[in-house]
Structure 1
């Protein structure tokens, strides 16, 4: 038997999400998002975000959302500032750059977060009119390495961006786990108030697929649907996304799933440390990063699905385990029991 810890989208969807889609399956709905489920889901998201005037649009996946949103917000000569480990830069095959925009990378710490002081030299350099002009800052919450921005950190970044004519865009592929984390000290409305645009990730938190993009400033939204259509991101059966997100935000389900994933990851981290396995970083969310001896990797291959993250040294590799809404104590304890103790 293999335990599934490769990512947080190995399983289809939470049963309540599937039930919501099935309930609407054969009733007939208008396409392209002009349906009652999409309208209600958008209203519900504005409500939970505390942003009554925000634009909400649904897209299929994280890369698509990042590309469409960032390209829409920027003028043709503007660039996005991104941590070197950010998904926009490190895991999207130049999709954003294919729209004609440049990515300006900033070195992030092992946690994947960046701070305002790191951006100052970049902005100074790009005062040169022969260079691209930074137009937005892209970050992820939770980061690609599992860290969470605190309210103070995000406030400082937001204030810096606005003082320097930059938009702040937050990749929320794992926003559910970020806001449900013990390391988080923000409510969703507090978080939303600090962002110009962000998205609520469904694909990695219990939906079949789908992300809800929120642009909090109405003056930035004119023409977005046309941009979405131009980049091939409008779904004909848009009501499926609406039905899913209505279910996700009923009875706190979205955050319950995030807490479940985080709790199982914490259980796994604690168990690995008790068995002598070293952590690469301490993650407060649903991703677990372990420094695995290369000679023990055949054991991992036999008992579970996981992902090689990066080399550590000649004899060790950083591997990643990810928990999700479907991960239970039996999965965690079973994996731990199958792994050897390391002295």
Structure 2
């Protein structure tokens, strides 16, 4: 059977989450997120970020989280800045534009937005009232290209947003992978200090589904519950989300699972490097973008599933390989061995 390196949600959920869901199944709870599991999960997350009163909401997925936050915080004439590779621009079927808000794109550097790019957008949108008003900066950590924001970069972006009157929103669909990356120097508490709103992704890190939206700038959450209900995001059985995040955060499971994915990816990256191949972006988290000979790619695709990302030239293409919280170590060993052996035949 072909082994899947296409995404980090091919498996179901971590057994501890399934056990907690099963063991609590017949316990009666309040609906719409007012259950005791959701409250305990919120307390656990607030403790991690060092903000005991931060408003926090559980929703089902990343696109939903992005749509809810952006549409709630922006007025009709306001726009959001994003990298061209940003999920809200490249992978959400125009969800943000469908709410009436323009996505202003910038060229990223290794998947990341810079303060210089933000300033350039502001300078280009001064012809009031004939152009949209940039009001939010959207970033992802880790980025869609597997890279991470370091502390100095996030602080610089936060300062630029303050200077230009922008809100800073961090997409954390793979935040666990960013925070457990070897090169990371940020904590959850520091992210809360240097963003206005962010979310913690569970879907891509061991949960069945779910993201936790956190508002460090508490006043921005005013009436957010209305937006949740109006847009169909307020689950009657909110306990399903709360139980999962309680399992992820009452100990260190969330970070342990992300580290497993990163470690397996690093093993693959090391093997690819040892064969003399380079990468589209530097390997940092569980998303890898190696540049491989097309002949090797064709041979690997016979036994492994992954995306061919972009063509480099007639002989080479960049592929995307993703590991997960449940990626099997033996399968990684086999994949690395196959890369080594097959690359020899191309020498």
- What displacement does 1:194 show? 0.5
Listed as ranges, the gaps of 5+ residues in structure 1 are none
Query: For 1:207-230, what per-residue CA distance to the aligned partner results, in whole angstroms no more than 9, with x for missing partners?
Result: 000000001111111110111111
CA distance in 2 between counterparts of 1:199 and 1:308 reads 29
Cα deviations by residue, 1:174-203 (Å, 9 ceiling, x for unpaired): 000000111110111011110100000000
1:265-318, CA deviations, whole angstroms, 9 ceiling, x for partnerless residues?
110000122233332222210011112322233322211111122222233221
* Deviation for aligned residue 1:338: 2.4
State how far apart, in whole Å, the 1-side matches of 2:211 and 2:159 are. Answer: 26
Cα distance in 2, alignment partners of residues 190 and 76 from structure 1: 31
The question of 1:175 aligning with 2:175 is answered yes
CA contact (8 A) 2:84 2:108 kept: yes
Deviations 1:157-180 (A, max 9, x none): 001101211000000000000001
Matches within 5 A, 1:233-248: 233-248=233-248
Q: Give the C-alpha shift of residue 121 in structure 1.
A: 2.1
Preserved contact between residue 88 and residue 96 of structure 2 (Cα < 8 Å): yes
Retained in 2: the 8 A contact 1:58–1:213?
yes
- Farther-moved stretch of structure 1 (88-97 vs 329-338): 329-338
Find the residue that maps to 2:280 and give its secondary structure.
strand
- Paired with 2:301 and 2:153, the residues of 1 have a C-alpha distance of 38
Aligned to 2:263: 263
Q: TM-score, with normalisation over the residues of structure 1?
A: 0.97
**Which segments of 5 or more consecutive residues in structure 2 lack a partner in the other structure?**
none
If the length of structure 2 is used for normalisation, what is the TM-score?
0.96
**Contact 2:119 2:160 (C-alpha < 8 Å) held by counterparts:** no
Q: For the residues of structure 1 that align with 2:294 and 2:232, how far apart are their CA atoms?
A: 43
2:58 alignment partner in structure 1: 58
Cα deviation code 1:49-96 (max 9, x no counterpart)? 112221100111111101111111111110000011111111111001
Count of aligned pairs between the two proteins: 342
SS at match of 1:281: coil
**Paired residue secondary structure (1:279):** coil
Aligned residues of 1:303 and 1:338 also touching (Cα < 8 A):
no
Q: CA RMSD in A?
A: 1.2
Q: CA deviation at 1:30?
A: 2.0
> Aligned partners of 1:235, 1:310: CA distance in 2, in Å?
38
Partner of 2:24: 24
Residue in structure 2 matched with residue 116 of structure 1 by the alignment:
115
The question of 1:126 aligning with 2:125 is answered: yes
1:220-253 deviation line (CA, Å, top 9, x unaligned): 1111011111122121211010000000012211
Alignment of structure 1 residues 181-260 onto 2, 5 Å: 181-260=181-260
Name the SS for the 2:7 alignment partner: coil
Worse overlay, 44-53 or 154-163: 44-53
Separation in 1, partners of 2:8, 2:334:
18
